[in-house]
Structures are given as C-alpha cells and as structure tokens.
Structure 1
C-alpha cells in the first residue's frame, strides 16, 4: 500500500520537479527546458477536465500520470479518458505509489462521467503488464498507432 502518499493534481509550480520525474520514464529522452515546459503547461491547461496527477511523499514527487478527458458524440455524450505518462521514481517503485496515482486518475474520470478509461503501453515486460492488470485494466481491444518518433526501448 502507498503509505504516506498524498495525491493531488499538478500545479504550474510543480513543473521543474515534474520534468525531472519524467526522466525516470524515458531516461535517454531529451528533457524539455523551463520555457518549453511553461508553454506545454499553458496549452494543456485548456484541456478542460484533464490533469496531471501527482503522488507526493513529504512534498517530493514520486509518481505521476496524465489524464486526458475527451468529449464524445456517442455513448449518450459521455466522455472517455486516456491515461499517459505513468511513471514512478525509480527509488520508490514497488510500494504501490504508481497504482494509487493511477487509480486516483481513474476515479477522477469516473467522477467526470467518463464511460471508459484507456491506456496503451509499449512495454512487453511482464512486471509492467502485471502492474496495469493489477490496477484493474484489461486487454479488451486491439491498439494501433502511427508514430513520427520511434518507440522507446525497454
């Protein structure tokens, strides 16, 4: 269980530490600079009910995921949600923090009336796949993607 974990939505002042937390997701990725992070935050802030969820221990960011809520013309107009950028700081893995943050984002989607929450992972690692299954996600659809950037390795 995620003992001592506080979960909340990220705020603009969280950006410097959040950008560093993402390094634990894609360590060899080119990090965004402060100015670029501010621009991305500004664009993301216009996505209505969407948000970046943070798990904190003693004020330190240890886990995060992004929830994007998409308006919808079917399913009676019920929105759906996408989850992306799920990561836990390497020093805090295996303690339930990632799952707690992930489930907080799912609960937010339900409270907003979303009829489903989707996520994709490129990982083939049984531990990663087990993490998502253990959180309640199921493999019920076939996913396709078209990429401009190559998938990350690992």
Structure 2
C-alpha cells in the first residue's frame, strides 16, 4: 500500500507522540489529559495545520504549519514549519518530503509569501541541510532563539 499524506486527525495523537520520539527521544512525556487537551487545541486552531504521512497504518512523517497575520509585505501572512519528523526506520524514502510539501502547499494556499523553518539538527547531521535545500529552503537571515528562564 503506498504512503498517503493527509491532514492529521484526532485519532493520530498516539502515533504522533510515538513519531516525535524519533526526533527527540528524551521528550518529556505528557499525561493523557494534557496531551488530549493540547491536541484538541491544535486541531481546532485555524492558524495551525498538522500533516502526517502514513505507510502501512504507521505514521512515518509529519510537519506542522503555523500561519500568523502580518502588517508587512503587503499584509501577507507568515508561515512557519515546525515539528518536521520522519520515523527513523522510514528515512530517505520521500516521506518527510511529502509532509513538508503538504505544509508548503497549504502555506501557499493561505497566501503566505514565505515560510520559515528553524532547525537545530543541521550541525548534527549534514543530510538535514541537503534535505531542506532539496525542499526549496535556502539559508536566509540568521535565526535566533531564547529559552524561557528556569523558574
């Protein structure tokens, strides 16, 4: 059965949490109630679209598109791709690309002029930069990040 890329649905929560561990194995576990609450919030948000690629009833890739209104660049919204993950056993088969392309297609349909993506993985794996460049991303402005201070 060929892989299919689609919008994520409520039933995908457990599979997504498993898939996310392929990117961040030490990710803190969410309690069931919190996970379900957050997932319902994500699915209900008009400015968020999560895409999954499924092969043989297993989620093998995902990405999330977040769009934000903007007063610059003619009022076109910003697009942000986040949580791009491919299952470790299914990498280099085009599944990640399918998920990214679904996110980009949705961004263009929403009128975004550009889509931003920040990754901390390029220094860990040279194939990451090649992958994103093959999806159309180019190095641009430097991305910076600040972490919330410990309380």
TM-score by length of 2: 0.91
**Residue 49 of structure 1: how far off its partner (Å):** 3.6
Q: Aligned partners of 2:117, 2:78: CA distance in 1, in Å?
A: 11
> Which residue of structure 1 aligns with residue 136 of structure 2?
136
Superposed structure 1 runs of 4+ greater than 6 Å apart: none
- Aligned partners of 1:19 and 1:32 also within 8 Å: no
Q: 1:24 Cα shift?
A: 0.4
Q: 2:119 aligns with which of 118, 121, 127?
A: 121
- Tell me, which stretches of 5 or more residues in structure 1 are unaligned? none
Match of 1:98 in 2: 96
Superposed CA RMSD in Å reads 1.7
The total of aligned residue pairs comes to: 148
Q: Deviations over 1:16-59 (max 9, x none)?
A: 11111111010111122321111112322343142110001122
Distance of 2:34 and 2:14 partners within structure 1: 11
Compared CA separation, residues 21 and 149, structure 1 to 2 (3 A): farther
Paired residue secondary structure (2:2): coil
Shift of 1:149: 7.6
> In the alignment, which residue of structure 1 is the partner of 2:110?
112
Q: Which residue of 1 aligns with 2:145?
A: 145
The offset of 1:91, in angstroms, is 0.7
Task: Note the 1:36-115 alignment, pairs <5 A.
Answer: 36-115=34-113
Report how far residue 63 of structure 1 moved: 0.3
CA distance in 2, matches of 1:96, 1:45: 25
Q: 1:104 to 1:144 in 2, by over 3 A?
A: same
Distance 1:149 1:134, change over 3 A: farther
Asked if the contact 1:23–1:31 (Cα under 8 Å) also holds between the matched residues in 2, the reply is no
SS of residue in 1 equivalent to 2:61: strand
